Amino acid sequence: MVREINVGLVGLGTIGSGVVEILQTNSKLIEKRTGVKINLVAVCDKFTERAKQLKVNDICVSDYKLLLKNKKINVIVELIGGYEPARTIIMDAIKAKKHVVTANKAVLAKHGYEIFSSAQKNKVNVLFEASVGGCIPIIRTIEESFSSDNINCIYGILNGTTNFILTRMNEGMSYEVALKKAQELGFAERDPTFDVEGKDAAQKMFLLASLAFDAKFASEPFTCGITNLTKKDMDYAKELGYSIKLLAIAKKENGEVELRIQPSMVPKSSLFYGVNNEVNAVLLSGKQTGEIFLSGKGAGKLPTATVVVTDIIELASRTRVAQRFFQNAKIKPLSNTISKYYFRVGLLDQPGGLAAVAKIFAEEKISISGCEQKEISGEIVPVVFITHKATQGQMDAAVKKCNALACVKDKVVIIRIEDLK
C-alpha cells in the first residue's frame, strides 16, 4: 500500500534545489523501494528565477505562511539556513501541526531545546539528519540504534572544509594556499571564518552531545580553529607519526561533560588518521555496544539533499513522536581536561636553555615522554617535547613560564595528542 506525503519546501538554494532535483528524478524509484509517494505541493523562495530554472515556478510562492495554511501539506522542509527567519518558520510550522525536516544545525544548536519541546507539545516530529555530518547517519544512530544504551563519548571530524585544508597542509601546502584551493573547489566560502575558526564543528558537536547525553548546556563548547597552525608543526607531527585533525570531542564522566573543539594530533593507529579531504567521521562509544566508527562525505549539494529526502521518507512511516528530554549539564572546565601534549619551543643556541624548560616541567609536575631537537635555523633551536598525560591547567602554566624565559625566542606551541582507535 502506497502512503503519500505532501511537502512544502522553504528555500531553493543549493540544498533545496538538490531536493527538488532528486524528487523530480527519483520519485518513482523511491515509491517502489519504500512504498512512499512524495508530492512536492509547494515551494517558497523570494527569488523566482530559481523556481523557473527548476521548473517549479507554477507552485512557487514568496510567503511561507501560505504553505502553513495549505491543508494538503503535512511536512515543511526548511532549507534557508541561519537563525532567522529559520527559527520562526520552524516554530510556526510546528504550531500549525506540521512535521518539520531541516538541515539547519545553526538554528538547532541555538534554539533546539525550544524547538524540540514545542514539537512534543504539538505532537509533530522534527527530523534533521542532514544537519550534522552530511550523509553520515549519525543522528539516527544516536537516537535509534543507541536508544537503549548510554553513550559515554563522541569524537568527530565534523567540518569538511577544515579537513580538506589540513589534508593539503599535510601534503606540504601552506595554510593560505590550502585555503585558496578549498575556495576554488567550492569547499570553503569567500569568508571562511565560520569553518576555519571551528564554529561550524562546535555547533554540530553541541547538538550531538545534547542528544547523546540528554543534556542541556548553558554555555558553548571551548572552540579553537586551525588558523594558527603552521606547516612546521604539520611536518613535525608527520615525522613523529601523527596527523593533525580538527577534532570535536564530547565525553561524559562523573556528572560533567568535556566539550571542546580544537586541533589535535592522532596517531597512525587511529581510524581518524586516514580521514582526509572533505570527508567527515564520527566515533561513538556506548556502555553496552562499545565503539562504532562512521565516515562519509560531510557536505555537498546532492549528498546532503539525499539525506533530507530520506528524512521525508522516514516521516511517512513514523507512528510515534520523538521523545527528547534534556537535563541541565555542566561543561567541564577546560583547565581540568587531560591529554598528552606536543610542546614546541624555540630556544637560543646556548647552554642551559633545555634545562630551564625541563625545570618548569618538573615544577608543574608534567612528565616528559620524549624530547627531540630539530634543525638549527640561525641561532634559534626548535625543540619538541612529547608529554605524558597532563591537565590543560598544568600546560598553560608551563607555557606562561617558558614564554617568560630569556632563552625562549619562538613562543611555545602546544597541541593535544589524542590516542584514539
Enzyme catalytic residues: 204
How far apart are the C-alpha atoms of 23 and 29, rounded to whole Å? 10
Q: Fill in the amino acid letter for 35.
A: G
Whether the bond between 85 and the residue before it is cis, its omega within 30 degrees of 0, is: yes
125 phi/psi in degrees, rounded to 5: -100, 145
**CA pseudo-torsion sign 206, 212, 216, 222:** negative
How far apart are the C-alpha atoms of 318 and 149, rounded to whole Å? 22
Q: Given strand 126-127, what is the order of strands in its sheet?
A: 60-61, 36-44, 3-10, 75-78, 99-102, 126-127
How far apart are the C-alpha atoms of 250 and 284, rounded to whole Å? 10
Tally of residues, the chain: 421
- Report helix, strand or coil for 186: coil
Helices 14-34, 301-317: inter-axial angle, 10-degree rounding: 50
Q: Are 329 and 216 spatial neighbours (Cβ–Cβ below 8 Å)?
A: yes
How far apart are the C-alpha atoms of 206 and 332, rounded to whole Å? 14
C-alpha cell, 50 = 530559481
Q: State the DSSP code for 376.
A: -
> Nearest CA to 178 among 195, 203, 201?
195
Q: Which residues contact 389 (CB under 8 A, 6 or more apart)?
A: 338, 339, 340
Burial category of 13 from C-beta neighbours within 10 Å (exposed 0-12, middle 13-18, buried 19 and up): middle
Q: State the DSSP code for 334.
A: G
